[in-house]
Structure 1
Amino acid sequence: MTAILAILPIFTLIVVGYVLGWRQWLTPSSAGGLSWVTFKLFLPCLLLTGIARAPLGDALSPLLLVVYFVPALLLFAGFNLYIRRRTGQASAIGLSASYSNNVLIGIPLVTALFGAQGLVYLFALLAVHSLILFSTQSLYAALGQGREQRPNVLSLLKTLANPLVVGLLLGGLINVTGLSLPDPLWQVLDWLARAGLPCALIVVGVGLTRYRLRTSPTIWAVCVGKLMIFPLMVLALGSLMPGLSPLALHVLVLAAAGPIGVNVLAFAQPGEEQHTVGASIFLSTLLAAGTLPLWMLAMG
């Protein structure tokens, strides 16, 4: 029951966003404005205030990243190898199976279950999550398309230097240096941060109205890999690794068990692959409403 109560508000807000977008009570222009202010202001403030006050400690351990990213990269390689043999081209299917929506779903979920103590581990993961997986995807796509498509380091850095990363870096800088900010400034940052999670979940719901719910063997395979195999691999590897706290392992498993992040669409080729990735995002988000409570129950 605790698991259901923890996840119910999250998916309720996603449904609210979906209804607002489906009925067009939130028009495309107003939804775009809400999305902009959420990702450029509210969520960066949330990440900044969270990591600035977090007791980093064990969260900076490389073990945390090994337990999460070794399974992620194995899934990335496995799915891409399969698609490569079928089509002969590089794709974003492997990224879909390994990239979680750890900001929009992960933060409210971990906050509801573990509070600030759990967020420390999630913030440590978020600091390099997009950097590692997006860099790997960009390199793979460039090498797979031939020499003329070799990765441009400057363009990759511009892609990764988004306000969310800036918020994490500023929060880490304040934490490490012990910089003291004026109380009124903290109050403003806290107010902006509180708007982040509800607005982000509504944006997810509105965004889902752009995708159609359709299935195929590939879409089901990606969703099973993302929602079941990925967290199972993280749980197995984390259980074998000495020195990883139970709380850290629980956060990593739930992060791996989250639905596919919408940012994956930016790497999908237009046409059939984009439709497949979009449908996978939609289906994984729907299925996660049932699989996430199961993972919570499985870990006690």
Structure 2
Amino acid sequence: MAAILAILPIFTLIVLGYVLGWRQWLTPASAGGLSWATFKLFLPCLLLTGIARAPLGDALSPLLLLVYFIPALLLFAVFSVVMHRHTGQTSAVGLAASYSNNVLIGIPLMTALFGHDGLVYLFALLAVHSLILFSTQSLYAALGQGAGQRLDVLNLLKTLANPIVIGLLLGLVINLSGLGLPKPLWQVLDWLARAGLPCALIVVGVGLTRYQLRTSPTIWAICIGKLAVFPVLVLTLGSVMPGLSPLALQVLVLAAAGPIGVNVLAFARPGEEQHTVGASIFLSTLLAAATLPLWMLLMG
């Protein structure tokens, strides 16, 4: 019951956003404005204030990253190889199976369950999450298409240089340097940060109206890999590797069990692959409403 109560407000706001978008009570123009403010202002402030005040300590341990990213890269490789052999082309399916929505779903979830004690471990993941997985996808796409392709470093840097990453880095600089900000500035940042979580969840719901709920063996395989296999691998590896705290392992498993992040669509080829990835995002988000409470119960 506690697990359901913890996740219920999160998916209630997602459903609210979906209804607002579906009924067009939130017009495309206003939804675009809300999305811009959420991703460019509210969420960066939330990440900045959170990591600036967080007691980083063990969260900066390489062990934390190894336990999460070894399974992530393993799943990425397996799905990419299978799809490449099936289609003869590079795809974003491996990225979909390994890239969690750790900002829009992960932050509200960890906040509800663990407060700032758990958020610090998620912030450590977020600092390198996109960097590692997007770089891997870009490298795979460049090498997988043959000698005529090359890694577009400039576009990769543009993808990573977004306000969310900048907010994380600024918070990290403030934390590690011990810099103090004027109290009025902290107050403004805190006010903006409070709007981040509810607005982000509504934006997720509105965004789901762009995708169709359809299924196929590939879509189901992606969702099972993301929602079940990924967290199982993280739990198994984290249990056999000494030195990881129980709270850190709980955060890592739940982060791995989250639905697919919407940013994966940016790497999908137009046409059928975009439809497959979009449907996988939609279905994984719906399924996560049931699977995440199960993982919470399993992790205690």
Give the TM-score, by structure 1 length. Answer: 0.99
Aligned length: 300
Q: Which residue of 2 aligns with 1:40?
A: 40
Displacement of 1:251: 0.1
Instruction: Give the alignment of 1:65-144 within 5 angstroms.
Output: 65-144=65-144
Q: Which residue of 2 aligns with 1:205?
A: 205
Instruction: Provide the secondary structure at the position in 1 that maps to 2:151.
Output: coil
Say if 2:290 is the partner of 1:290. yes
Q: Which residue of 1 aligns with 2:253?
A: 253
Displacement of 1:156: 1.1
Instruction: Provide the secondary structure at the position in 2 that maps to 1:214.
Output: coil
CA distance in 1 between partners of 2:30 and 2:236 (Å):
44
Instruction: Give 1:280's aligned amino acid.
Output: S
Q: Which residue of 2 aligns with 1:214?
A: 214
CA distance in 2 between partners of 1:84 and 1:148 (Å):
17
Instruction: Give 2:165's aligned amino acid.
Output: V
Q: Which residue of 2 aligns with 1:232?
A: 232
Displacement of 1:145: 1.8
Say if 2:276 is the partner of 1:276. yes
Q: Which residue of 2 aligns with 1:55?
A: 55
CA distance in 2 between partners of 1:185 and 1:148 (Å):
50
Q: Which runs of 4+ in 1 moved over 3 A?
A: none
Q: Which residue of 2 aligns with 1:157?
A: 157
Instruction: Give 2:175's aligned amino acid.
Output: N
Displacement of 1:138: 0.5
Displacement of 1:158: 1.4
CA distance in 1 between partners of 2:99 and 2:172 (Å):
23
CA distance in 1 between partners of 2:120 and 2:237 (Å):
20
Instruction: Give 2:90's aligned amino acid.
Output: A
Displacement of 1:159: 1.2
Q: Compute the RMSD of aligned alpha carbons.
A: 0.5
CA distance in 2 between partners of 1:185 and 1:149 (Å):
47
CA distance in 2 between partners of 1:58 and 1:166 (Å):
22
Instruction: Provide the secondary structure at the position in 2 that maps to 1:102.
Output: coil
Instruction: Give 1:246's aligned amino acid.
Output: P
Displacement of 1:143: 1.1
Displacement of 1:209: 0.2
Displacement of 1:161: 0.7
Displacement of 1:142: 1.1
CA distance in 1 between partners of 2:206 and 2:250 (Å):
29
CA distance in 2 between partners of 1:276 and 1:3 (Å):
30
CA distance in 2 between partners of 1:263 and 1:173 (Å):
26
Instruction: Give 2:20's aligned amino acid.
Output: L
Instruction: Provide the secondary structure at the position in 2 that maps to 1:104.
Output: coil
Displacement of 1:147: 2.8
Displacement of 1:78: 0.3
Q: Which runs of 5+ in 2 are unaligned?
A: none
CA distance in 2 between partners of 1:22 and 1:76 (Å):
33
Displacement of 1:117: 0.4
Instruction: Give 2:257's aligned amino acid.
Output: A
Displacement of 1:120: 0.4
Instruction: Give 2:74's aligned amino acid.
Output: L
CA deviation map 1:162-186 (0-9, x unaligned): 1001000000000011101111000
Percent of aligned pairs sharing the same letter: 85
CA distance in 2 between partners of 1:155 and 1:289 (Å):
34
